[in-house]
Amino acid sequence: MSDTIYVKSPREIELMRQAGRITAGARSIARQAIRDGVTTKQIDKYVHDYIVKCGAKPTFLGYGGFPGSACVSVNEEVIHGIPGKRVIRNGDIVSIDVGAMIHGFTGDCAGTYPCGEISEEAKKLIKVTRQSFFEGIKFAKEGYRVSDIGAAIQEYVENHGFAVVRDYVGHGVGRELHEAPEIPNYKFDRKADHRGNPRLVKGMTIAVEPMVIASRNWEIEVLDNDWTVVSADGALACHYENSIAITDGEPEILTMADDI
């Protein structure tokens, strides 16, 4: 990923909106497909077919060798679940991460959703993770720094007894799925951190994506497939993400349509 931050023109932001609407629609299709007995591969096919029907390209398919159009992560899986034969059952929580590219620009969004009746802890985890995104983007405005977003997310999550993942972060998004700058979900020292801490300016487009574990332990492990990330202690994990544009006022969420 280049260190260059690409500020988009109004025309490019409009193209980002188009990509964002399709991406959000794909997340919605996947959410509606979650039910007892469905496989993660079936959900992936729903996502793929919807994106292609919209005239777009599944951004994730083949990205770095990833074999699916969606990341479908279940329970303790944080991110990058590979679609396959796994059967989703009542009581599971399912994280869906999708991207769609059209006219040279991509959207990126994710959400975690219940299958049937889930535990109270799982309900709280989903609610806290989603709200932490909105706490973070209160600072997604001109003049604030990247670290202000992460600090707000971390404070909210930890005040509710959970932990934010440190090894994976949000990012810029646009012509590429991953652009500068990186957007950590925690407070960090600008001088001690390699990624810098740029100020936000109008025209920047970023993906803010809290990844939260239902324990005080934020450590993760990567499975032998070299993709799927799980909580180190086996605790439930949750993921929520939207692509947003920095404006001269409130941030514009580009992938919000059809979310719950």
- Output the pLDDT for position 192: 47
Q: How far apart are CA 248 and CA 85, in angstroms?
A: 46
Q: How far apart are CA 235 and CA 259, in angstroms?
A: 25
**Residue positions counted in the chain:** 260
* Residue 154 main-chain phi, psi, to 5 deg: -60, -45
End-to-end CA distance of the chain: 32
**Helix, coil or strand: residue 214:** coil
Number of CB atoms found within 10 A of residue 46's CB: 17
Q: Sign of the CA dihedral 49, 19, 252, 129?
A: positive
Residue pair 101/19 in contact (Cβ under 8 Å)? The answer is yes
Residue pair 76/66 in contact (Cβ under 8 Å)? The answer is no
Q: How far apart are CA 83 and CA 68, in angstroms?
A: 6
Q: How far apart are CA 231 and CA 217, in angstroms?
A: 8
- Of 128, 121, 145, which is closest to residue 240 (Cα–Cα)? 128
Q: What is the dihedral of CA 159, 73, 179, 127, to 10 degrees?
A: -30
- Output the pLDDT for position 35: 98
Domain ranges of the chain: 10-253
Q: How far apart are CA 89 and CA 178, in angstroms?
A: 32
- Output the pLDDT for position 72: 99
**Helix, coil or strand: residue 142:** coil
Q: How far apart are CA 230 and CA 226, in angstroms?
A: 11
Residue pair 102/54 in contact (Cβ under 8 Å)? The answer is yes
What fold is seen in the domain 10-253? Answer: Creatine Amidinohydrolase (3.90.230)
- Output the pLDDT for position 196: 75
For the chain, 260 residues long, give each residue's pLDDT as a single digit of tens.
778 999 999 999 999 999 999 999 999 999 999 999 999 999 999 999 999 999 999 999 999 999 999 999 999 999 999 999 999 999 999 999 999 999 999 999 999 999 999 999 999 999 999 999 999 999 999 999 999 999 999 999 999 999 999 999 999 999 999 999 999 999 986 554 555 799 999 999 999 999 999 999 999 999 999 999 999 999 999 999 999 999 999 999 999 866 65
Q: What is the dihedral of CA 191, 192, 193, 198, to 10 degrees?
A: -10
